[in-house]
Amino acid sequence: MKSFFNKHLTLILGFVGLFLVSTGVSMAAFTYLIKDPGSSSGTETKRSRIDLSKPKTEICPINGAKFTKAERDIWDTRRPTAVVIENHKDARPQSGLSKADIVYEAVAEGGITRFLGIFYCAGVAEEVKMAPIRSARVYFVNLAAGYGSFPIFLHQGAANRLCGDCPGGIKSTSQVAKEVDAYGLLDKLGWRNGQRGNDMDGGYNIGVPIVIRDQYRLSSEPAAWEHSVVASLDAVYNEAKKRGFEFKDSDGVAWNEDFKVWQFSDDKPQTPTASEISFRFWDNWADYDVIWSYDQGTNRYVRKNGGVVHVDQAFEKTPLVAKNVVILFAKEKGPVDSEHHMYYEVVGKGDALVFQNGQIIKATWEKDSATSREVFFDEEGAEISFIRGFH
């Protein structure tokens, strides 16, 4: 077994095309194992509103997966939507994650991770419910900002310094540090503009039917209130259209004019040098340990969370899989205030590990600004190609 441990850390890129994770190294351990790969379990049941039997000729610009012309005709009227989804153990299984083109994962507070799902191509063939929606963090805003001009950003509240009972209406920096003020960053980016911005906040400027409360999504026993927000992707796009954020905005600017498209390649499964990727976010928090097991037959990595295969509740409990898993090492600070917020520097550069085709690639990453997309390079300095999607 080869193991890895470092002092700075992290992010992971993957699911449908890519999984990206972030957490603190003093509290995280990462290993990759060499052993016989197991086979993936379960298949997705399609509930399509379009004919998916047609040839898949159209390439998704987000993760390189191939789709039908009918699917592209839909996504060509839209722009990417970035959605904050929680991963508390009581909120599993989530809804909609299997329809994200890319999923990022990072610790929010106390070792509990949260996801940022990027929805654009895979979610057009059927109605997608996404849940549970939770509050935004600065690093998720910075990552979402790399998806072209004014991507739709969906969340339920955010780390912020607003306070009705505080002097001047602002929390002290000891309570909420300036560097983790997500509302402040959204304002700086020009996203938070009441009913007219690309920022859709369930705690502020959207409601039914875009987001609803459903405490019985998982069982007949009511879930805690904070685990109950469900969003409709179709309703999000209907609202985006009203606000002037379709493929082009109200000024005629296409979302992808400055968007960085990664390089993609087809499957090349090999005898694995790393058949299992194990990641511990926080000491003594086994419910949040993650294992990705490589299946050479499908050339996919199957995810377990807390020792259980991680599935999508909304789509026949489809196992969550990825063609690529990326560990992105980022500088961590925190907790930085009395509300225990963590801070990850995802703008800049650092080291990474890329897992694809059963192999390990030592890599580096660069993200020049919030509005640029992270790019990955191998040890020779060449940009890394990612394996297309998950089909």
The predicted-structure confidence for 232-267, as pLDDT tens digits, reads as follows 999 999 999 999 999 999 999 999 999 999 999 999
Share of the chain above pLDDT 70, in %: 87
Q: Enter the pTM of the model.
A: 0.89
Domain range for residue 324?
2-387
Residue 17 in contact with residue 62, Cβ under 8 Å? yes
Query: Between 143 and 203, whose confidence is greater?
Result: 143
Coil, strand or helix: which one is 336? coil
- Enumerate the H helices of 103-248 as residue ranges: 138-144, 182-189, 233-242
Quote the radius of gyration of the chain (alpha carbons, Å). Answer: 20
The predicted-structure confidence for 58-101, as pLDDT tens digits, reads as follows 999 999 999 999 999 999 999 999 999 999 999 999 999 999 99
How many beta carbons lie within 10 A of that of residue 380, not counting itself? 5
Report the C-alpha gap between 174 and 162 in whole angstroms: 13
Number of domains in the chain: 1
Coil, strand or helix: which one is 106? strand
The predicted-structure confidence for 354-389, as pLDDT tens digits, reads as follows 999 999 999 999 999 999 999 999 999 999 999 997
In the numeric block, which tokens belong to residue 287?
């419910």
Query: Between 194 and 40, whose confidence is greater?
Result: 194
The whole-number pLDDT of residue 274 equals 86
pLDDT-based confidence at residue 174 (cuts at 50, 70, 90) = confident
Burial of 366 (0-12, 13-18, 19+ CB in 10 A): middle
Q: What is the CATH number of the domain that holds 47?
A: 3.50.90.10
The predicted-structure confidence for 322-332, as pLDDT tens digits, reads as follows 999 998 888 88
In the numeric block, which tokens belong to residue 129?
């419910």
Question: Which residues are paired to 214 by β-bridges?
Answer: none
Residue 49 has pLDDT above 90, yes or no: no
Question: Which residues are paired to 234 by β-bridges?
Answer: none
In the numeric block, which tokens belong to residue 215?
């405490």
- Please report, in angstroms and rounded to a whole number, the separation of the first and last CA atoms in the chain: 30
The whole-number pLDDT of residue 39 equals 34
The whole-number pLDDT of residue 23 equals 39
Phi then psi dihedrals of residue 178, to 5 deg: -60, -35
DSSP characters for 250-285? TTS-BTTTT--PPEEE-----S-S--EEEEESSTT-
Backbone CA torsion sign across 40, 42, 43, 47: negative
The whole-number pLDDT of residue 169 equals 76
Residue 7 in contact with residue 25, Cβ under 8 Å? yes
Coil, strand or helix: which one is 3? strand
Query: Between 284 and 329, whose confidence is greater?
Result: 329
The whole-number pLDDT of residue 47 equals 55
